[in-house]
Amino acid sequence: MNDDTRPGTTHFGYRDVPVGEKQKLVGEVFSSVASKYDVMNDLMSLGIHRLWKRYFVATAQAKRGDRVLDLAGGTGDIAVLLKDRVGDAGEVVVGDINGDMLRVGRDRLTDRGLVRGLDWVQCNAQALPFPDNSFDLVTIAFGLRNVTDKDAGLREMHRVLRPGGQARVLEFSQVTADWFRPIYDFHSFNVLPKLGAMIAGDEGSYRYLAESIRKHPPQRELQSMMDAAGFVRTQYRNMSAGIVAIHTGYKA
């Protein structure tokens, strides 16, 4: 978290950088890896990320005809699952701050004939370009840790939700099993950067991603942040020994 940073700075992985620079640096990371993002996710997680995402969407509060916002929606994998839930009468808005990621996702889904009911919006999660009470469900998967001001991002998610609406966060979290942490650390800091160099031609971006996971708030802290943002009935569920957690909150 930012507690150990100097005033006016925030963390970019294990580096402290001026607050105004983080957005640009994160943008460079995702522009660099956009074309190989899904392939790398499969390799990094041995395909398990697809199960996490399916469970994340399958247990979300979504029904036919709902309007849903998927933030950090990038390559569209969550959007496809959500569209199945809301049906032809529903709408999924995919928001991402990175234009390269949006283009990859939009082109991929268009090639699959998935156009109707999907909108693509380049936007900053800290200042969403939508009116209050616009969505029945807001999701963000593996994106909150890259938001410079996470508290502002959570407040914006709460603002655009309709009363009774649900917010869902799927994010890497703190591993709960002591015996597993050394294995997980070795994989994160030794295997992932090498995979990034071989597959995406970018070792540094995947080293940053591993570091950003360690700087992200652990489960109980993120739950408290959601409480502070105005959500009620907040809870979280660990998956795969805490490698990831699903956080849920509602707008009263």
- Per-residue pLDDT of 58-91, as tens digits, reads 999 999 999 999 999 988 999 999 999 999 999 9
Contact 240, 52 (CB under 8 A): yes
Of the candidates 154, 164, 171, the residue with the CA atom closest to the CA atom of residue 228:
154
Of the spans 47-56, 159-168, 175-184, which averages the highest pLDDT? 159-168
**Domain residue limits at 26:** 21-178+204-250
Residue 10 has pLDDT above 90, yes or no: no
Q: Is residue 6 part of a domain?
A: no
Residue 120 has pLDDT above 90, yes or no: yes
Provide CB contacts within 8 A for 197, sequence distance 6+.
203, 206
Instruction: Specify the CATH number for the domain of residue 26.
Output: 3.40.50.150
Residue 133 has pLDDT above 70, yes or no: yes
Q: Is residue 129 part of a domain?
A: yes
Q: Is residue 71 part of a domain?
A: yes
Q: Is residue 1 part of a domain?
A: no
Contact 150, 167 (CB under 8 A): no
Split into its structural domains, the chain has a count of 1
Q: Is residue 224 part of a domain?
A: yes
Using pLDDT thresholds of 50, 70 and 90, give the confidence band for residue 2. very low
Using pLDDT thresholds of 50, 70 and 90, give the confidence band for residue 195. confident
Using pLDDT thresholds of 50, 70 and 90, give the confidence band for residue 1. very low
Distance CA 5, CA 11 (A): 7
Q: Comparing 193 with 51, which gets the higher pLDDT?
A: 51
Q: Is residue 208 part of a domain?
A: yes
At 213 the pLDDT is: 87
Q: Is residue 14 part of a domain?
A: no
| Buried/exposed 5-18: b ≥16 CB within 10 Å, e otherwise | eeeebbbbbeeebe
At 199 the pLDDT is: 75
Bridge partners of 93, per DSSP, are: 69, 119
At 143 the pLDDT is: 93
Q: Comparing 128 with 22, which gets the higher pLDDT?
A: 128
Q: Is residue 113 part of a domain?
A: yes
